[in-house]
Amino acid sequence: MKIALIGSASEIKSNRILKLCNSIGKYLSTKNVSLLTGGSYGIPGLVVKACDVNKINIIAYSPDKDEINHNKRFDNLNSKYFSKIKYIKGFTARSLKMIEDSDAVIVIGGRIGTLSEFTIALEGGKKIMVLKKSGGISDHLEYILSVADKKFPNQVFFETDYKKGIDKLLEVINKNI
């Protein structure tokens, strides 16, 4: 099962979010999943760093053309954190491929890139768990969906407890496989 984790790649300074990302990484390591990220710092990077690499497959979808360029860029995690890196040049192409390759999506915090990936996942019919009260765009997605003038029944759910949210997401995916 492949779960795309999307969220802000910017530096995180909130102790609450730092602890949350650490807890999520450790929790995901106890599940039988592969974690897909954009290969960056920020929320996805914090979660990746907290994962037990011996227990979870972590795949980066880098917007760079190769490992050298990936490791040179200031906002990317070093390639050593990933089981595998797929190089897909450009942010939009990278995001599209990552979401297409996933079985479901977890949204934590985020900015405009997260909103873009969220809408790709919606239109792609992916199951999505949004972690409420994690800041950024995720705190506005319920409202955005309410004014979007399109229904996505049983596709998106919002949760404040990451364990409940991850468990529900995995349960929903297992029912659909």
Report how far residue 46's alpha carbon sits from residue 63's, in angstroms, rounded to the nearest whole number: 19
Polymer length in residues for the chain: 177
pLDDT given at position 140: 97
Boundaries of domain holding 48: 2-176
- 26 band by pLDDT with thresholds 50, 70 and 90: very high
Q: What is the pTM assigned to this prediction?
A: 0.96
Chain-centre distance of CA 112, in angstroms?
Answer: 14
**Domain CATH for 155:** 3.40.50.450
- How many structural domains is the chain composed of? 1
Q: What is the mean pLDDT of residues 5-28?
A: 94
* Residue at token pair 């929903």: 172
Residues in a beta bridge with 131: 108, 159
Report how far residue 82's alpha carbon sits from residue 60's, in angstroms, rounded to the nearest whole number: 6
Residues in a beta bridge with 35: 3, 58
Helix (H) or strand (E) holding 170: helix 162-176
Portion of the chain with pLDDT greater than 70, in percent: 99
pLDDT given at position 53: 82
pLDDT digits (tens, 9 = 90+) for 117-166: 999 999 999 999 999 999 999 999 999 999 998 888 889 999 999 999 99
Helices (DSSP H) in 6-150: which residue ranges? 15-28, 42-50, 67-72, 91-101, 112-123, 141-147
pLDDT given at position 151: 86
| Nearest Cα to Cα of residue 17 among 50, 40, 60 | 50
Q: What is the mean pLDDT of residues 19-31?
A: 97
pLDDT given at position 152: 86
- 93 band by pLDDT with thresholds 50, 70 and 90: very high
pLDDT given at position 177: 63
